């Protein structure tokens, strides 16, 4: 039946547009999502999820059909990062559900709010290895904050509401509800209640006062304090509080990679971000610090390098909503458990006086002069990727949302773009999932304001993994611009092979890449190509001006590497500036 022939069911609702009463489990699922204020769903149709899709037919919510379930979950993830509300993705049972796994694991590592709804074979078939059956709750248990197997049409809406609330409250993360087809097909007239988290789930709002007081004293006595702002600062809407506190007390701010945007990188106190490819000055400041106020970070090994050499003189004041993060990787001298915004407020109130940071700030400024991010330009040689990132940054507004795939291009997009606003940096951090960039740009486009630009930096290898999602961008006429920094390598692997495997470039050479501008045209997007410095400015301008999806195939210097670099498990203070330092 075409949509023109669909008969609206006006007669069953009253004149004020009251929605139809719930009649099936599937309708209850849809009602729960509507009650939670969901606007968009990203998914792929299939056998076991069909009843839920049927119930969506009459809903005001927009379903965005993606080309692949991995695209759906990455889009939902990016939607969650940019909007702050859980992104919703849907898939059928079996292969549909397993195709979500990468994106769910990604959301879990980065604590992104995502709700996944998966179809399941009818309850009577569960366990029989039925067609398209997978133990989805079993598969996703280690990578979800909480997951649910819905067993009753009367309560399925409440379960979906709880899963939505769990994705958002406390430490955010992915949740999943597995929906057997008989449950969604079954009749019920039970309207779901308001979405609420279970009684046993009680994240602390504010930190213990005595610990806050003691930590504040340690902070005031510090000589070389640093604020380390993680992704949790952005998730808890604590960016403004952190900015105010840092500026009040003149404390240098380092972010983690997920924390990019928590503090304006054009501010004097910003040292940009630390870690494996973070700035030399951020890594020096952390290494030499005597007091780190760490907010909303889990001290990932890409940040710390080897823990033995991580900020060994520093007392660690660790603010986190998840008690299990305190002293998990690096021992905290003060564990401040609570919501980042509330605890930073408590902490600001408790600090008496300010540490004297003049000499320390001067030292940090000197490190900025000594270890600038920089690159060498030779007009006759291939274009440097860093130049392209800076040029796109210059051509777009401060509120532009940047998404990336995973690899060298991702690091250049971190290093050479100046981020000033939270929720403008969207990337796959903890999991490092190649293919994240294009679907993330799609999800970000739906969450961003209309006047915000969305650009994606991708690598040739990463782009190739999910470029089919361009069909979605073309169909929906989404204004996104993808810059493929194309070096015909899995560049980060090549860099490691050169550094640690004697240059034996096994399986990292991608000189068989398609022409990405032509490929984009085949998908219905606009294709551009950059080969020389002369092309850069005009092509960027044209691609950004194009209203719709465009792909710029940027042929960059294939041998360019990412520096600085702390080798895996190494000492942050000994970051390499060149290959011969590795």
Partner 1 sequence: MSSQDDPPENGLLGADPDDRPRPRGRRNSQGIRIDPEVEAERSPRRTTITALVQNEPGVLSKVSGLFSRRQYNIESLTVGTTQETEWSRITVVVEEPDPNIDQIEKQLDKLVPVIHTRELDENAVARELVLVKLDAEDPAKVHAITEMYDGRTLDAGPRTVTVELTGSERKIDDALDALRQFGVREIARTGQTALARGETKTSTVPDDLKP
Answer for the pair 287, 314: CB distance below 8 angstroms, yes or no: no
Output b/e per residue, 366-399; b: 16+ Cβ within 10 A: ebbeebebeeeeeeeebbbbbbbbbbbbebbeee
Q: What does residue 557 show for φ and ψ, rounded to 5 degrees?
A: -60, 115
* The only residue of 137, 155, 396, 508 in contact with partner 1, by rule CB under 8 A: 137
* The only residue of 130, 326, 348, 361 in contact with partner 1, by rule CB under 8 A: 326
Query: Reduced to 3 states, what is the DSSP secondary structure of residue 449?
Result: coil
Output b/e per residue, 467-489; b: 16+ Cβ within 10 A: bbbbbbbbebebbbbbbbbbbbb
**Rule CB under 8 A: is residue 221 a binding residue for partner 1?**
no
Q: Of the listed pieces 96-104, 320-328, 516-524, 541-549, which binds partner 1 according to CB under 8 A? A: 320-328
Question: Smaller CB distance to partner 1: residue 149 or 523?
Answer: 149
Question: Smaller CB distance to partner 1: residue 190 or 328?
Answer: 328
**Rule CB under 8 A: is residue 535 a binding residue for partner 1?**
no
Cα–Cα dist 139/91, whole Å: 15
**Rule CB under 8 A: is residue 375 a binding residue for partner 1?**
yes
List the x/- string, 445-484, binding to partner 1 by CB under 8 A: ----------------------------------------
**Rule CB under 8 A: is residue 254 a binding residue for partner 1?**
no
Q: State in angstroms the smallest separation of the CB of 548 from partner 1.
A: 29
Q: State in angstroms the smallest separation of the CB of 503 from partner 1.
A: 13
* The only residue of 58, 152, 201, 211 in contact with partner 1, by rule CB under 8 A: 201
* The only residue of 323, 432, 499, 548 in contact with partner 1, by rule CB under 8 A: 323
**Rule CB under 8 A: is residue 309 a binding residue for partner 1?**
yes
Let me know the angle formed at the C-alpha of 446 by 443 and 452, rounded to the nearest 5 degrees.
Answer: 110
Q: What does residue 81 show for φ and ψ, rounded to 5 degrees?
A: -65, -45
Q: State in angstroms the smallest separation of the CB of 312 from partner 1.
A: 4
Answer for the pair 496, 507: CB distance below 8 angstroms, yes or no: no
Cα–Cα dist 235/256, whole Å: 13
Residues in contact with partner 1, counted by CB under 8 A, come to a total of 58
Dig out the tokens for 477 from the structure: 């006429």
**Rule CB under 8 A: is residue 505 a binding residue for partner 1?**
no
Cα–Cα dist 41/543, whole Å: 28
Q: State in angstroms the smallest separation of the CB of 422 from partner 1.
A: 26
* The only residue of 130, 132, 190, 371 in contact with partner 1, by rule CB under 8 A: 371
**Exposed/middle/buried for residue 9 (C-beta within 10 Å: 0-12, 13-18, 19+):** exposed
Report the relative pairing of strands 146-149 and 174-180 from DSSP bridges.
Answer: parallel
* The only residue of 284, 444, 470, 552 in contact with partner 1, by rule CB under 8 A: 284
Residues 380-409 that bind partner 1 (CB under 8 A): 387, 390-391
**Rule CB under 8 A: is residue 327 a binding residue for partner 1?**
yes
* The only residue of 42, 53, 164, 310 in contact with partner 1, by rule CB under 8 A: 310
Q: Which residues are catalytic?
A: 69, 131-132, 181, 492
Rg (CA), the chain: 25
Picking from 458, 517, 449, the residue whose alpha carbon sits closest to that of residue 479 is 449
What is the 8-class DSSP label of residue 457?
Answer: E
* The only residue of 6, 221, 545, 574 in contact with partner 1, by rule CB under 8 A: 574
Q: Of the listed pieces 5-13, 101-109, 438-446, 553-561, which binds partner 1 according to CB under 8 A? A: 553-561
**Rule CB under 8 A: is residue 577 a binding residue for partner 1?**
yes
Q: State in angstroms the smallest separation of the CB of 412 from partner 1.
A: 13
Q: Of the listed pieces 87-95, 243-251, 484-492, 569-577, which binds partner 1 according to CB under 8 A? A: 569-577
Q: State in angstroms the smallest separation of the CB of 164 from partner 1.
A: 15
Residues 142-171 that bind partner 1 (CB under 8 A): 142, 146, 149, 166
**Rule CB under 8 A: is residue 199 a binding residue for partner 1?**
yes
Answer for the pair 283, 258: CB distance below 8 angstroms, yes or no: no
Dig out the tokens for 440 from the structure: 């993330």
* The only residue of 232, 405, 549, 573 in contact with partner 1, by rule CB under 8 A: 573
Contacts of 182 by beta carbon, 8 Å cutoff, 6+ apart: 122, 123, 124
Picking from 43, 98, 101, 99, the residue whose alpha carbon sits closest to that of residue 72 is 43
Dig out the tokens for 572 from the structure: 């942050």
Dig out the tokens for 178 from the structure: 């597995």
**Rule CB under 8 A: is residue 581 a binding residue for partner 1?**
yes
Residues 101-120 that bind partner 1 (CB under 8 A): none
Contacts of 334 by beta carbon, 8 Å cutoff, 6+ apart: 211, 214, 215, 218, 315, 316, 317, 318
The alpha carbon of residue 250 and the mean position of all alpha carbons in its chain are separated, in whole angstroms, by 29
**Rule CB under 8 A: is residue 360 a binding residue for partner 1?**
no
**Rule CB under 8 A: is residue 273 a binding residue for partner 1?**
no
Q: Of the listed pieces 228-236, 266-274, 369-377, 545-553, which binds partner 1 according to CB under 8 A? A: 369-377
* The only residue of 205, 244, 362, 370 in contact with partner 1, by rule CB under 8 A: 370
Answer for the pair 431, 378: CB distance below 8 angstroms, yes or no: no
Footprint of partner 1 (CB under 8 A) = 137-138, 141-142, 146, 149, 166, 198-201, 280, 284, 287-288, 299, 304, 307-313, 322-324, 326-331, 333, 370-377, 387, 390-391, 559-561, 563-564, 573-579, 581
């Amino acid at each position: 039946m075409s949509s023109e022939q669909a008969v609206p069911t006006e007669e069953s609702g009253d004149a004020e547009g009251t929605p139809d009463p719930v009649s099936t489990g599937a309708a209850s699922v849809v009602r729960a999502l509507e009650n939670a204020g969901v606007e968009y769903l990203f998914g792929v149709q299939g056998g076991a999820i069909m009843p839920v899709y049927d119930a969506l037919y009459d809903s005001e919510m927009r379903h965005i059909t993606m080309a692949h379930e991995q695209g759906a979950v990455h889009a939902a993830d990016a939607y969650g990062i940019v909007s702050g509300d859980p992104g919703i993705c849907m898939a059928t049972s079996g292969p549909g559900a397993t195709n979500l796994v990468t994106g769910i694991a990604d959301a879990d590592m980065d604590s992104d709010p995502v709700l996944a709804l998966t179809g399941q074979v009818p309850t009577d078939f569960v366990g029989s290895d039925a067609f398209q059956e997978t133990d989805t709750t079993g598969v996703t248990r280690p990578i979800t904050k909480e997951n649910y197997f819905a067993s009753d049409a009367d309560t399925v809406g409440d379960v979906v509401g709880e899963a939505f609330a769990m994705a958002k409250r406390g430490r955010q993360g992915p949740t999943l509800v597995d929906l057997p087809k008989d449950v969604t097909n079954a009749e019920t007239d039970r309207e779901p209640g308001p979405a609420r988290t279970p009684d046993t789930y009680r994240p602390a709002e504010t930190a213990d006062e005595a610990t806050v007081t003691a930590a504040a004293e340690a902070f005031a006595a510090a000589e070389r304090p640093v604020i380390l702002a993680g992704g949790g600062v952005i998730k808890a809407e604590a960016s403004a509080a952190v900015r105010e506190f840092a500026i009040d007390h003149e404390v240098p701010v380092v972010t983690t990679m997920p924390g990019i945007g928590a503090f304006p990188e054009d501010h004097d106190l910003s040292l940009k971000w630390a870690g494996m490819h973070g700035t030399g000055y951020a890594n020096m400041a952390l290494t030499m610090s005597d007091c780190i106020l760490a907010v909303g970070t889990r001290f990932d090994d890409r940040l710390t390098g080897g823990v033995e050499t991580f900020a060994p003189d520093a007392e660690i004041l660790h603010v986190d909503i998840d008690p299990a993060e305190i002293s998990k990787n690096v021992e905290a001298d003060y564990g401040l458990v609570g919501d980042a915004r509330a605890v930073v407020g408590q902490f600001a109130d408790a600090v008496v006086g300010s540490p004297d940071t003049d000499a320390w700030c001067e030292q940090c400024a000197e490190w900025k002069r000594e270890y600038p991010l920089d690159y060498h330009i030779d007009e006759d040689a291939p274009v440097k990727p860093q130049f392209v990132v800076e040029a796109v940054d210059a051509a777009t507004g401060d509120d532009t949302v940047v998404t990336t795939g995973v690899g060298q291009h991702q690091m250049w997009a971190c290093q050479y773009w100046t981020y000033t606003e939270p929720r403008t940096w969207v990337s796959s951090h903890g999991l490092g999932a190649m293919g994240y960039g294009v679907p993330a740009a799609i999800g970000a486009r739906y969450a961003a304001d209309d006047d915000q630009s969305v650009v994606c930096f991708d690598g040739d290898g990463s782009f190739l993994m999910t470029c089919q999602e361009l069909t979605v961008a073309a169909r929906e006429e989404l204004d996104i611009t993808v810059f493929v920094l194309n070096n015909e390598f899995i560049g980060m692997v090549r860099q490691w092979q050169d550094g640690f495997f004697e240059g034996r470039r096994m399986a990292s050479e991608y000189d068989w890449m398609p022409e990405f501008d032509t490929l984009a045209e085949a998908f219905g997007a606009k294709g551009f190509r950059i080969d020389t410095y002369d092309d850069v400015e005009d092509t960027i301008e044209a691609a950004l001006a194009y209203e719709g999806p465009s792909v710029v195939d940027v042929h960059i210097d294939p041998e360019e590497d990412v520096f600085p670099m702390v080798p895996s498990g190494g000492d942050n203070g000994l970051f390499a500036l060149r290959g011969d330092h590795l």
